[in-house]
Structure formats: C-alpha cells, structure tokens
Structure 1
Amino acid sequence: MARDTLSFDHVLFAIGGLPITLGLLLSGTCGLLLLLFLATVLRRGRVQEAAEARIDVLLSAQADMQSRIATLTEVFGTRQAELNRAIGERLDGMGQRIGSSILQQTQATHENLRRLQERLTAIDSAQANIQTLARDMAGLQQILSNKQTRGAFGQQRMETIVADGLPQGAYAFQPTLSNGARPDCTIRMPNGQPALVVDAKFPLEGWNAMRASEDETARRYATQQFRRDMEVHIRDIATKYLLPGETQDTAFLFVPSESIFADIHEHFEAIVQKAHRARIVIVSPSLLLLSIQVIQAILRDASMREQAHLIRDEVVHLMADLGRLDERVRKLQGHFLASQRDVEDILISSDKLRKRGGRIESLELDTPAAAAEPPVPAADPARPRQGGLKLRVVDEE
C-alpha cells in the first residue's frame, strides 16, 4: 500500500546526476504549460492582428474590386447597349434584305410557275396533237393495210389534184376504153389529141414489206418482190392503157408520196429506166400538180386560139362603129360652127343697138347716118334663116 502512494519528494529518475522528483516534475510541467499557453496567447494576438490587417487589405481590395466591377459593369452595359443597337440595326437591315430577296424570289418563282404553266399548256396541246396524229396514223395504217382501201386512198389524192387544177369537163375518172380497160383518170388534150392516162394503183404493200423487214435476207426478198411488182404494173399500164389513136403514147404512174418517189429514183434506177422505155412516167404529187398546171396552160392557149376568129369579127364591128361615130361627130361640129357664126352676127347687131341707144340718150341724133343705115328686112317666116342651126335626123345603121 505504501508502494502505491507517491509523494512530491519521490525521485522518479535522475538526469545528469540531478534527481527529478515528482513535485519538480509537476512544477516544471506546469511552468512549461504556462509558457506554452502564454506563447499561444501571444501568437494568437499576432495572428489576430495580422488577420485584421489582412482583412483591412481584403476589404480595401474588395472595395477597389467593387469599384472596378461597377466600372466594368457600366462599360459592359454601354458596350452591350451599343452591341444590341448594332445587332438590332444589322438584324433590321438583314431582315429588309431577306424580305426583299424573298419578295424577288417569290416574284421569280411566280414568273417561273407562269412560264411553266404556259409550257405545260403547250405540252398538253402538243400531246393532244400527237394523240390526234397517232390516231390518224393508226387510221392511215389501217387504210394502207387494205389493198382496196389503199387504192382508194391513192385514187382520192390523184383525183383531188386533177380536180383542183383542171376545169370541169377536161378530165374523166375511171372511164372505159375501147378494150374494156378502166384507167383511174384520163385528161382531155387540146386540138383533138388523144387523152392522157393517169394510173394511181401503186404497189404499196410490197414497199411497206420491204421497209418493215428486220434482217438482211427478208429485206432482200422484199426488195426483189417489190421490183417484180413494179415491173408487172408498168407492163400492165403499157399493154392496157396505151392505145394508138385513143390515148397518148405516154402515161403517168402516180406515186402518192414524195419520199417513196425519191427512194425509187435513188435505189431503183433500173425500174425508172424500164418505165421510161415503156413510155411510163413515174410522178409524185408535186410533179403531177406541175403537169396539170402545164396542161391547163395548154388548154387555155388552145381555147384562146379557138376564139380568135370571134375576137377578129368583134374587132371589125368595133371599127365600123368607130367610123360611124367619127362621121356623126364631124356633122355635129358643122352645126356648132354655124351656130357660132349666128351668135357673132347677133353680137354685132346688139353692139349697134347699144351705140344707137347711147346717141339717143345724149341727143346726138345723126339723121343722115340714120338714113344711110339700110332698113332691116322683115323675117320671112317661110324662108329658113341662113347659117342657123339645122337639125337632121340621122338614121341608125
């Protein structure tokens, strides 16, 4: 129990031969704590002073910072107002430009739409024309596919050209010749010459088959077939329609297309030469029209020659009438000359009467002169006045 109780004089340890008791240790510890406390208090005072100084500096810096911030805020506000005003002006200008550009684009768009509408209208019209043409071509193809209808088509074109170019009675369609043949048309020639024969039965089916051939073999066969058809047709015209004394020694083979006529003369020269040797002239619509115009001029000249004697007789009668007119005009001129002389005598008498009246008015009567004036004889009613106007009835011849 004594071991567990410690006194302040109890030596705990020794340092350099100096015994360290518990009281000494406690007092030293207390003094050390006191020193530490004082040092801490002094340090806190200096820290507080430094903190207060720093706070003052911070407050001054804060005030300076607030002043600068206020200045910057004012500057930024001014700059922002200017920037807003500039942005507003730019936005207004841009809005005006965009509005003007949009208006121009709208007008251009409306104009383009209008032009597009016009073009679409033209395209619709052209499409309608193309559809009509397609239907016409289909009808023409149906016409040309039928041999009898195709012959009627060529006959109709030929008849239209002849009827438009020649007067009525100068042609005949499908007449009957002495051998029983019936050509498509005959044209009367002047001066009693034989009629000219026009044939319109062109072998168009062989031509279409040649054009529709896809390979070389079929085209060659169709070409040979078309050449044979043309040769047979030329021979038939020469044997049936060229009759001495009844028809001309030359006949027309009418081709109802200018393109077919050009292709025949370009690729079938042998057929053309054979037709010339047989006195068969292959004609297109334009050549037939030209020939009709020449024939019309010849008929007109022949008609003028037939009427020449009538014109001559009329001229003779006209000259006789002119002779009688000249004689009657000369007689009328004689009457006018006699009347002019009578008028001159009347003027002389009136002048004398005027002078005598003047002398009477001035009382200057000249009795000898008056006595010398021969008396005017009285007019004999039974005697005609000389130099007067004589009327004579001229008998019409």
Structure 2
Amino acid sequence: MLNFSIIFLLILLVLLMAGLIYLFFKNSANKDSDDKLLVLFEKISELSRQNDSLRQELDRKLSETNRVSQESMSKSAQMVQGITGQSAKLISQITEKLTKLDETNKQVIGFSEQLNNLEKVLTNQKKRGNLGEAGLKLVLENILPPTAYKLQYPFEDGGIVDAVIITKDGLIPVDAKFSLDNYNRIVNEDNSDRKLVLEKEFRNDLKKRIDETSKYIKVKEGTMNFALMFIPAEAIYYDLLINEVGAVKVNTRSLIDYAYNERKVIIVSPTTFAAYLQTILQGLRAMQIEEGAKNIRKNVESLGRHLLSYEDFMKKLGGSMSTSVNHYNSAYKEFKKIDKDIARIGDGKSEVEVLEIDRPGVE
C-alpha cells in the first residue's frame, strides 16, 4: 500500500511538472525564456525537496503505525487466548460441581431405598447367632459410605474400638461388647433362686460392658464426648427398655440411666442405631451440598474476576486501536498537504479527499 502511494505520487508530480513547463512556455513566449526557465527549475527543485521530506515523514509514520498495530494485535491475540482458556477451565469445573451436586440430590431421593436396606440388615441379623462386630459392620456398610466410618480404630494407649463414625464435629466411638451368655441363661433357667443369681451376674456384666465402652471416649484424640454401645439383638434391647428379661423383672432402667448420665454411653439396637446413622448420613450429605455450593460460588467469583480482567483488556485494546487510527489520520493529512502544495504550484485544485477513520469509543 505504501509503495503504491509513492509511485502514484511520483507519477502525479511528473505530470504536474510537465504541465507547468507547458504553461510556462505558452504564457511567456515573448519574455526572456532563460530567466523563466531558471525560476521554474528552482521551484521544481524546491518542490522535489519538500516532496522527499514529506515522503520520508509519511513513510516513517506509516511504518510506526504498522509496527504498533502488529504489536497490539499480537498481544491482543495472546491475552484473548489466555483468558479464553482460563474461562473454559472454570466453566468446566463449575459444570463438574453441578453434576456432583445433582448426583448428591439423587442420593437424597434414594433415601427410601436405603430404608429397604435396613430391613435386609435386620433379616441377616436374625439368621446369625452372636452378631457382635459382624452385625455392627453390616449395619454400617448398608447405610454409611466407606469414607464415613472406620473399623477397628486404634487409640494412642493401644485400645481398639470396634468402629468410629467420622463427622465434621469429631469421631463417634461404637463398640459391640454385649454378651448373650448371661441373657440366654436367665431365659432358659427354671429355678427362681438360680434366676436371681443370674440376674445379678447379668447386671454386673452389662455394667462392665458400659464401663468398657466409655473408655473409648477420648476427646483429646478427636472423639465426641459420648460413645455408642451396640446391642446386636432387638429382643435384648427391648427387654432392657421394659425392665424384663424373659419372665424375670430386672432393674435395667437404672443401668440405661447409668450408661447415659454417668458414662456418656448411649445404648442402641440395630433399629435405633440405623435410625441414628440415617440422621448422621443426612448431616454428611448436607455438608457435601454445602461444600459443593461453596466451591461453585468460589469458581463463579473467580470467573467474574477473569471477566473483569477481560473487560479491562478490551478497554486497553480499544485505546491501542484509537492510537493507530490517530496515526492513520495524521498521515493522511500530511498527504493532503503535499497535494495542496502541488496544486498551488500549478494553479490547480486539490483533488485528494482525506478519508478519516473515527476512533473506536472506549467507555
């Protein structure tokens, strides 16, 4: 474009010079031709020097404009590519979080299906003899996700509890130490005197189990200030509640009060334990939803910051384009001056129209 403009300018200059020479000889036929010719060549020489100077200035400004435009476009392409990549990554992360949140909601809807699993747990327990730890594990596996509990959890003093339930507030120790031996002896014994002896043994055994369970309450090691004692049979738990073992009245209510008020131990059966776990499960899911919402909000805020950076960049890009337009318009005005000088020499009229470009608006 620049070479074409220079060639056009030179051709136009040659034509104007030829026209001036023709007019000069036509209008000065009766004058001293040598003097006029000398003056004409001086004007032509001066015009040539002005043309060289203006051409060099025009060439310099156009080169500078081209360089600035190339640098601006290169930087613009790099920044747009970087911001676009970051935005795509953030949108992908937000989509992934929304997908996980949808899956969590589906798990909440499947609450009724997990209640059906409870019936399966209880059925399996009836088929087993001494359930103990196996029954505890079965209930945990059918209700809680694997990350929400740990089996055979060790403490610093070497003690090992059957299981701990992991919550955001701490660990809940769960132990299944209830023995069926004394209970079965009372139920199967017909001698009333012997039953009284067995009742005492039953109370002492139950109290011992409560004390053993309370030893797993270790707040300094991250446990809650209470523990659960799991009784693997509904019938035994029911007898404890009604103060009766078989046909014999046993003061088990005082033991339940002793466990909770003095030892911070809550006695649970498979049914009550499952209901308790469902409450914990809903709390875990609510926490997952809350964490997912926090992550989504964090990513949205990050995306907003990137969009603001993108807006700032576009403003800078608009400023750079405005500078380029100013250089273009200035160069065109210089070209107009050359045309006016040529027209003034030949007493003609300038025929070059300045094509100015409006600067882009930057708000």
TM range (shorter): 0.3 to 0.5
Query: Could you say which structure has the larger radius of gyration?
Result: 1
Tell me: higher relative CO, structure 1 or 2? Use CA pairs within 8 A at least 6 residues apart. 2
If the length of structure 2 is used for normalisation, what is the TM-score? 0.45
